């Protein structure tokens, strides 16, 4: 039985757009559902969002293209018109190019008394809500100038915007802009989640992502293999329950190697985050000038200079190397000591550690039991390309990083990706307040802590990313995003890892 409900609770499977396009045809045929019926259901789902979330909006501008996305828009326009809404419809592109099911939807709209107009240079002040149905998931190349001009007009309006399936101008496989892109307040996507809606520039254009399965989503998922997975708070169910008879030695011994001259703060943030994440014992090897600040900031840590590195490498069960390490000789020597004496030890390589990794001759060896945590700039350095290249297709970039270094990779950014080369996961938590110095050090500490506690690298990377991002969301919900510091997240890490919101 079909339900038009579009919900904020998202499935975890992510797909390539072509997989969805081909799969929906197969499933519709299998279930005996005409493709036009799916178009009607899509339009009904979007209209239900208008009725439930924008009940005060009675004057709607629907902007349609010439493809099936535009056909969905015509269904929305007809349903609104028949429900007493004042509907204005802009057709982008010649109506003579409309065919198939989209043509049927257009004719039904006209039969219901609807009128089609050419786009104007501005949105009329009387309009309460805009529905974007210009371009769909089939878009791959650069936008044409006419479509871009219309999208620019929509973006100038102060009206809320609902995008149908994908914001027009966005690549639904990569999340990058293919030109000027609609900035939606909400996007209603159908049947299955397209992987480009949850990472990269999509995070600034999708708005609230709502899902409508059109009552064929389960059948589609049964017959189609996902390309990646999307996290939710439910993923925290994978955390281990702490035994009531455990002691400090039961929860790992972590060694943080970093804190070069003048950069004790990075080592502190990673160390404190690891303790807040449950590490039993923590030691830190830092530059001599950083010993006193570290001891003052974190009395729970055992702090030493590099003379005790060999001893601590024998002592620890996991390592976090690179946070504030520096690109000077001291940092190089510390990095090389770790990699030569503890190559197979579970570890996180972050920040300046990634700089030294990029210079390292690994002899094509995999970095056993290792998680690397580059941001786009560091990923570009590791892949010897530009940041633009990395961000153009983050899924391809993380695949290349896994292939080159043969270890678990966390590609940070809007919609952080985690992969071991076989499974790719997108962290759906996090917010713009995290764009501040030291936040990556906290993440490195959380992941390192989980490694110390016995989690496998891919588990530690996924759970660490989720805990870190959810902690930032918890802090932002209390104090706001702007002004968030990395140290603000430390207390929230403890809150999240203890499941206090459950």
Inter-residue contact 469 to 429 (CB < 8 Å): yes
Inter-residue contact 70 to 101 (CB < 8 Å): no
Inter-residue contact 340 to 360 (CB < 8 Å): no
Binding residue positions for AMP: 412-416, 440
Binding residue positions: 68-72, 132, 136-142, 165, 168, 266, 324, 375, 412-416, 440-441
Q: Which residues of 26-49 are buried (b: 16+ CB within 10 A; e: fewer)?
A: ebbeeeebeebbbbbbbbbbbbbb
Interatomic CA distance for residues 191 and 23, integer angstroms: 10
Interatomic CA distance for residues 183 and 205, integer angstroms: 4
Inter-residue contact 263 to 324 (CB < 8 Å): yes
Torsion sign, CA atoms 378, 379, 384, 387? negative
Interatomic CA distance for residues 143 and 158, integer angstroms: 23
The closest alpha carbon to 6, from 55, 41, 57, 58, belongs to: 41
Chain centroid, CA 308 distance in Å: 40
Binding residue positions for K(+): 69, 132, 168
Interatomic CA distance for residues 88 and 60, integer angstroms: 6
Within 10 A of 322 (CB to CB), how many other CB atoms are there? 34
- Measured at the CA of 427, the angle between CA 422 and CA 431, to 5 degrees, comes to 155
Termini Cα distance of the chain: 32
Q: Which 3 state secondary structure label does DSSP give 320? A: strand
Residues 6+ positions from 34 with CB-CB distance below 8 Å: 28
Binding residue positions for (6S)-NADPHX: 68-72, 136-142, 165, 266, 324, 375, 441
Residues 6+ positions from 134 with CB-CB distance below 8 Å: 63, 64, 65, 69, 70, 92, 147, 150, 151, 168, 182
Inter-residue contact 425 to 394 (CB < 8 Å): no
Q: Which 3 state secondary structure label does DSSP give 71? A: helix
Inter-residue contact 322 to 349 (CB < 8 Å): yes
The H or E element containing residue 426 is: strand 424-426
Torsion sign, CA atoms 287, 288, 289, 295? positive
Within 10 A of 431 (CB to CB), how many other CB atoms are there? 17
Torsion sign, CA atoms 341, 342, 344, 350? negative
């Amino acid at each position: 039985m079909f339900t038009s409900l579009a919900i904020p609770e998202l499935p975890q499977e992510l797909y390539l757009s072509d997989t969805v396009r081909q799969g929906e045809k197969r499933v519709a045929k299998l279930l005996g559902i005409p493709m036009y019926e799916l178009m009607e259901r899509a339009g009904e789902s979007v209209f239900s969002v208008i009725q439930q979330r924008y009940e005060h909006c009675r004057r709607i501008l629907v902007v349609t293209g010439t493809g099936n996305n535009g056909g969905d828009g015509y269904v929305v326009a007809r349903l609104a018109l028949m429900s007493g809404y004042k509907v204005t419809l802009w057709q982008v592109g010649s109506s003579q190019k409309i065919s198939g099911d989209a043509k049927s939807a257009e004719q039904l709209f006209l039969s219901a008394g609807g009128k089609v107009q050419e786009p104007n240079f501005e949105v009329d002040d009387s309009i309460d809500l805009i529905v974007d149905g210009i371009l769909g998931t089939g878009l791959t190349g650069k936008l044409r100038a006419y479509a871009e001009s219309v999208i620019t007009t929509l973006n100038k309006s102060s009206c809320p915007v609902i995008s149908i399936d994908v914001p027009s101008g966005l690549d639904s496989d990569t999340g990058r802009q293919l030109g000027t892109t609609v900035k939606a307040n909400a996007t209603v996507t159908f049947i299955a989640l397209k992987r480009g809606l949850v990472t990269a520039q999509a995070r600034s254009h999708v708005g609230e992502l709502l899902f409508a399965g059109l009552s064929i989503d389960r059948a589609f998922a049964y017959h189609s293999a996902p390309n990646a997975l999307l996290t939710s708070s439910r993923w925290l169910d994978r955390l281990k329950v702490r035994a009531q008879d455990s002691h400090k030695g039961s929860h790992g011994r972590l060694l943080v190697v970093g804190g070069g001259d003048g950069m004790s703060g990075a080592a502190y943030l990673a160390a404190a985050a690891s303790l807040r994440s449950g590490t039993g014992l923590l030691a830190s090897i830092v530059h001599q000038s950083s010993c006193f600040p570290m001891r003052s900031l974190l009395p729970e840590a055992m702090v030493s200079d590099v003379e005790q590195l060999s001893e601590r490498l024998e002592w620890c069960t996991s390592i976090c190397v690179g946070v504030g390490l520096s690109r000077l000789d001291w940092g190089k020597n510390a990095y090389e000591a770790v990699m030569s004496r503890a190559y197979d030890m579970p570890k996180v390589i972050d920040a300046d550690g990634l700089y030294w990794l990029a210079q390292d001759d690994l002899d094509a060896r995999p970095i056993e039991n290792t998680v690397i945590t580059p941001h786009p700039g560091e990923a570009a350095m590791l892949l010897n390309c530009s940041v633009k290249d990395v961000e153009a297709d983050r899924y391809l970039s993380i695949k290349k990083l896994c292939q080159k270094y043969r270890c678990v990779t966390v590609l940070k950014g809007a919609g952080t990706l985690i992969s071991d080369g076989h499974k790719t996961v997108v962290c759906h938590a996090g917010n713009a307040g995290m764009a501040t110095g030291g936040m990556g050090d906290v993440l490195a500490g959380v992941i390192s802590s989980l490694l110390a506690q016995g989690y496998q690298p891919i588990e530690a990377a996924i759970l660490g990313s989720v805990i870190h991002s959810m902690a930032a969301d918890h802090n932002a919900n209390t104090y706001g995003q702007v002004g968030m510091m990395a140290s603000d997240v430390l207390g929230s890490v403890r809150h999240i890892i203890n499941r206090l919101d459950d």
